C-alpha cells in the first residue's frame, strides 16, 4: 500500500510503538511528522520527515502542536503517546492522575479537534488511537491508565459517528504487552520486586492471561495501523482492534 502524498502525525514517535508506526508510514511514502517530548530531530531526518516537539502534559503546548499540524495538512493522526504509573488507588497522587488523563485522553481530543476541520475540507482522513488491552479490561493498581484508555475508546466511537459522513474513519488499536522500552523496564522492576528471573515475569505475570505466550513486537501493531489507514479499510470505523494474544478470549 502507498501513502505517497499523505501527511501523518504520530505522537510519542521517539520509541516503541510510535517509532514502529512512524517508520512504517515513512516506508510507504508518507511524510511523517515525528512528535516526541524528547528531541527526535535525528529520527525525523532519517525518515525524511519533520520533528515537532511538544509536552502533551501541557494543554497549551498541545494546542500549538495542533495548529502546526493543521498548517501542515495532516491527513492521518496517530494518537500514541502515553506513560504508566502503578499504585493503589488510595495512594495515587492526584497530580499524576491528572497528568496521565491529559496526555492519554485530553491531548488526543485536542489534536482531533484541531485536525478534523482540515480532514473534512479534503474529504478524507484517518484517526488512529493507540489504546491498550486495558481499554477493554482492568488490572489492579493502574486506575488512571485504565480510565484514560477506556475514555479513549469512547472518544474513538463518538468521533467516528461525527466524522464518517466526511470520508474520515476513526479506530482504536488495543495491544496487550508489546516489546517496548517501557515494558522491558516494567519486566526488570517486577523481577527485582518478586525475586524471579525476567523470563519468569513475562511467562507468569505479564502473559498469565494470554493464549499465545510471547510479547508482541511493535512492528505488528504498525502493520495494523497501516491497514486501518489504507483505502482497503475505508468501511471500518468506530472499531477497537485487540492485538492481545487471546487475552480477552477467556
Looking up cell 482497503, which residue turns up?
232
Domain count, the chain: 2
Residues 138 and 199 in one domain: no
Task: Please report whether residue 2 resides in a domain.
Answer: no
Residue 115 has pLDDT above 80, yes or no: yes
Gap between the Cα atoms of 64 and 179, Å rounded: 31
Residues 199 and 241 in one domain: no
Cβ atoms of 64 and 1 within 8 Å: the answer is: no
Residues 152 and 190 in one domain: no
Gap between the Cα atoms of 19 and 129, Å rounded: 15
Catalytic (active site) residue 177: no
Residue range 125-135: mean pLDDT, rounded: 97
pLDDT of residue 189: 77
pLDDT of residue 107: 98
Encode pLDDT of 157-170 as tens digits: 999 999 999 999 99
Which is catalytic among the residues 145, 177, 206, 241?
145
Structural domain boundaries, residue 209: 180-215
pTM for this entry:
0.95
Residue range 169-181: mean pLDDT, rounded: 95
Residue 224 has pLDDT above 80, yes or no: yes
Q: What percent of the chain has pLDDT over 70?
A: 100
pLDDT of residue 192: 81
Residues 71 and 15 in one domain: yes
Residues 200 and 228 in one domain: no
Helix (H, G, I), strand (E, B) or coil at 49: coil
Average pLDDT, the chain: 95
CB count within 10 Å of CB 46 equals: 13
Residue range 111-125: mean pLDDT, rounded: 98
Residues 120 and 194 in one domain: no
Gap between the Cα atoms of 180 and 236, Å rounded: 28
Amino acid at each position: 500500500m502507498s501513502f505517497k502524498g499523505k501527511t501523518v502525525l504520530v505522537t510519542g514517535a521517539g520509541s516503541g510503538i510510535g517509532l514502529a508506526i512512524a517508520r512504517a508510514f515513512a516506508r510507504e511514502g508518507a511524510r511523517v511528522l515525528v512528535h516526541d517530548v524528547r528531541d527526535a530531530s535525528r529520527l525525523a531526518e532519517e525518515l525524511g520527515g519533520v520533528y515537532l516537539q511538544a509536552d502533551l502534559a501541557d494543554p497549551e503546548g498541545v494546542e500549538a502542536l495542533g495548529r502546526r499540524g493543521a498548517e501542515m495538512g495532516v491527513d492521518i493522526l496517530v494518537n500514541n503517546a502515553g506513560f504508566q504509573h502503578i499504585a493503589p488507588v488510595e495512594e495515587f497522587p492526584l497530580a499524576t492522575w491528572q497528568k496521565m488523563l491529559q496526555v492519554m485522553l485530553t491531548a488526543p481530543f485536542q489534536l482531533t479537534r484541531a485536525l478534523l476541520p482540515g480532514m473534512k475540507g479534503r474529504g478524507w482522513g484517518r484517526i488512529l488511537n493507540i489504546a491498550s488491552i486495558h481499554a477493554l479490561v482492568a488490572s489492579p493498581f493502574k486506575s488512571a491508565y485504565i480510565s484514560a484508555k477506556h475514555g479513549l475508546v469512547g472518544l474513538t466511537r463518538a468521533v467516528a459517528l461525527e466524522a464518517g459522513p466526511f470520508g474520515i474513519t476513526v479506530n482504536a488499536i488495543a495491544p496487550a504487552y508489546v516489546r517496548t522500552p517501557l515494558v522491558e523496564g516494567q519486566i526488570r522492576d517486577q523481577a527485582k520486586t518478586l525475586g524471579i528471573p525476567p523470563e519468569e515475569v513475562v511467562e507468569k505475570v505479564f502473559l498469565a492471561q494470554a493464549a499465545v505466550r510471547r510479547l508482541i513486537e511493535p512492528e505488528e501493531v504498525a502493520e495494523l495501523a497501516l491497514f486501518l489507514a489504507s483505502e482497503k479499510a475505508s468501511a471500518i470505523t468506530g472499531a477497537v482492534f485487540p492485538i492481545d494474544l487471546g487475552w480477552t478470549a477467556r
